[in-house]
Amino acid sequence: MSRVTRRFRIAGKVQGVYFRHSARGEAERLGVAGYAENLADGSVEVLAHGATEAVEELRRWLHQGPRNARVDSVAELTVELEEPLASGLKFEVR
């Protein structure tokens, strides 16, 4: 099984609408490790590591987010991790 790590930056109405916690729920459902973190500019950053198909499904979900969110854009970057995720095999909200 192929694994991939991607970093996403989600812009729009994504803070204060339970976006990070909802992303954690989706990631856990899909078996994806990583984190979701609010950024100072009002966006949310998500780092996702897991099976290619699972990370792709999470990416699709990020374009919509939870019910009260409004996603204007999702920027994506494939990244190489030099060491295992600090959170192990979990997905955490920061």
Question: Are residues 83 and 91 in contact, defined by beta-carbon separation less than 8 angstroms?
Answer: no
Q: Note if 70 is an active site residue.
A: no
Question: Are residues 62 and 46 in contact, defined by beta-carbon separation less than 8 angstroms?
Answer: yes
The single residue of 29, 38, 60, 67 carrying the catalytic annotation is: 38
The single residue of 20, 24, 29, 68 carrying the catalytic annotation is: 20
Give the strands of the sheet with 91-93, arranged side by side: 70-78, 3-13, 44-51, 33-38, 91-93
Q: Note if 20 is an active site residue.
A: yes
Looking at the annotation, which residues are catalytic? 20, 38
